[in-house]
Amino acid sequence: MAFRKNYSSVSQQLEEAYEIVRYQNHKLNTLKDAVANIMDGLDIMKYFEDRSDSKESLEQMYAYLNDVAHRALSNICIIQSPRACVLPTH
C-alpha cells in the first residue's frame, strides 16, 4: 500500500515537472521567434539602406518594419504575461 502511495506521489510530481518544462520550452521557442523577428527587421533595414531613398521604398520599409516589430512584441508579450497580453492592431 505504501508503495502505491509513494508511486502515485512521484508520478504526480513528474507530471507537474513535465508540464513546467513543456511550458518553459514553449516560452523559449516564443523568445526564439521574437529574436528571429528582430533579426528580420534588421535585415529589412539593411536591404532598404542599400536601395534608393525614394519615398516609395521608405514607406515600404516602414510597413515591413511595423509588421516585424508587431510580431516581435506579440511574442515578447506572450512570454511575459500570456493572459494579459493585449496589443494594438496595426
Question: Tell me, what amino acid is at 24?
Answer: Q
Assess if residue 69 is contained within a domain.
yes
3-class secondary structure per residue, 39-62: HHHHHHHHHHHCCCCCHHHHHHHH
pLDDT at position 84 is 60
Task: Please give the residue range of the domain that contains residue 80.
Answer: 2-84
Is the Cβ–Cβ distance between 90 and 67 less than 8 Å?
yes
> Looking up cell 523577428, which residue turns up?
37
Assess if residue 89 is contained within a domain.
no
pLDDT at position 1 is 57
The pLDDT profile of the chain, 90 residues, written as one tens digit per residue, is 566 777 788 888 889 988 888 888 888 888 888 888 888 878 877 777 776 666 677 777 778 888 888 888 887 777 777 666 655 554
pLDDT at position 87 is 53
Assess if residue 90 is contained within a domain.
no
pLDDT at position 90 is 46
pTM over 0.85: no
Number of independent structural domains in the chain: 1
Cα separation values, 41 from 1, 14, 45, 89, Å: 60, 40, 6, 18
